Amino acid sequence: MKGGVITELDSEYCTIRTRIPAGVVSCDQLKGIATVAGRYGAESVHLTTRQTIEIPHMNHTDLDAIARDLALNNTPVGSERDEVVNVIACPGNERCIFANIDSISLARSIDARLFGREMPVKIRISISACPNACTSPLLNEIGIVGQNRPIRVPGMCTGCGTCVEYCKEEAITIKRGISVLDPSRCVECGTCVRSCPYDLLKSSGEHYLITVGGRRGRHPRIGRELIAVKSPESVLLVVEKVVAWVYRRAWSGRLLSDQMDELQFETFRDEIRALVPENDRAEEPLGDFSGGSGI
């Protein structure tokens, strides 16, 4: 009944899903998985949408031995049922030029605290280091998006328009020789900060938007915004509180996204915002770049 053991169409056989936080596996671990798969008769493995590796067509009589061998390889049996399943993440600021946060380290920290925890509903956690959302965080029960709020050095803008050209949201215009931001359009991706050739757009500092209640599937639904925080430590605190809230109040047999109103999400959001210290919340209004009118 381990979550990572999935009975196949032919019930004599199982697919074994491994635990690989953020989809990062060493070369030695990858070789080890191949060795384990071959040892028990698999001719191939399957790369899943949740950044894990599955070994198909395993005989149910070999489950204990397979679990032991995978644990020795540091790629143990994963999770698939009503649990906290494999935490996924994009490459983050280790490699990606668009990244605002270290998504992989954050995924590993969340995995270490919460992976496999028994829940009334399946909890999928996805982290994207920027609003490009390559890992579809808004379509997961818990989504985390790295954001970067732009701030202009007061009085120094040359009006060159480079930030206007780079902004995909058309959130920036040039008025009377100065760049002006429309906060209703800005998604806080940080592209304008990186694009300014004169280094006049600064970052307010990385922060993390946390959403709850998204889902994929035949009827996808966007998660609801819970809070934006400034530190990985606050992300861990909030995510643990979300998991505890779902564990205490959610009903089995229904997706979390279908229960949000019954679970009084708005009240829970107020509780979370009161819990996080004000200096670690990142929810002040954007305003314009400089704090002045810019016009």
- Condensed to tens digits (0 to 9), the pLDDT of residues 64-77 reads 999 999 999 999 99
The reply to whether 130 and 242 lie within a common domain is yes
Query: Is the same domain home to 186 and 248?
Result: yes
285, part of any domain: no
Looking at residue 130, its pLDDT comes to 97
Do residues 139 and 234 share a domain? yes
**Which of 72, 97, 130 corresponds to the end of one domain?**
72
Per the structure, the count of domains in the chain is 2
pLDDT in the model for residue 293: 37
H-helix or E-strand containing 54? strand 53-59
Backbone angles phi, psi at 202, to 5 degrees: -115, 160
What pLDDT is recorded for position 43?
96
- Answer whether residue 144 is part of any domain: yes
Q: Is residue 234 in a domain?
A: yes
pLDDT at 2: 64
pLDDT tens figures, 195-225: 999 999 998 888 999 999 999 999 999 999 9
Q: Quick check: 221 and 257 in contact, CB under 8 A?
A: yes
Return the pLDDT at 282.
86
pLDDT band for 290, please (50, 70, 90 cuts). low
Residue 92 has pLDDT above 60, yes or no: yes
pLDDT digits (tens, 9 = 90+) for 79-91: 999 999 999 999 9
Measured CA to CA, the distance from residue 262 to residue 250 in angstroms comes to 9
Within-domain flag for 166: yes
Asked if residue 295 is part of any domain, the answer here is no
CATH number at residue 140: 3.30.413.10
Q: Look at residue 290 and tell me if it is in a domain.
A: no
Please name which of 117, 69, 89 lies closest in space to residue 20, comparing C-alpha atoms.
Answer: 89
CA distance 29 to 18: 11
For residues 59 and 139, state if they share a domain.
no
* pLDDT at residue number 205: 85
Clarify whether residues 9 and 104 are in a common domain.
no
- Quickly state the pLDDT bin for 156 (edges 50, 70, 90): confident
pLDDT, position 154: 82
Comparing CA positions, the residue from 14, 11, 9 lying closest to residue 77 is 14
Query: What is the pLDDT, as a whole number, of residue 295?
Result: 32
- Shared domain for 112 and 236, answered yes or no, is yes
Q: What is the mean pLDDT of residues 265-287?
A: 85
CA dist 113 and 156 (Å) reads: 46
Expressed as residue numbers, the domain containing 244 is 88-280
Query: Exposed/middle/buried for 225, CB within 10 Å: 0-12, 13-18, 19+?
Result: middle
Indicate whether 1 pLDDT > 70: no
Q: What CATH number is given to the structural domain containing 47?
A: 3.90.480.10
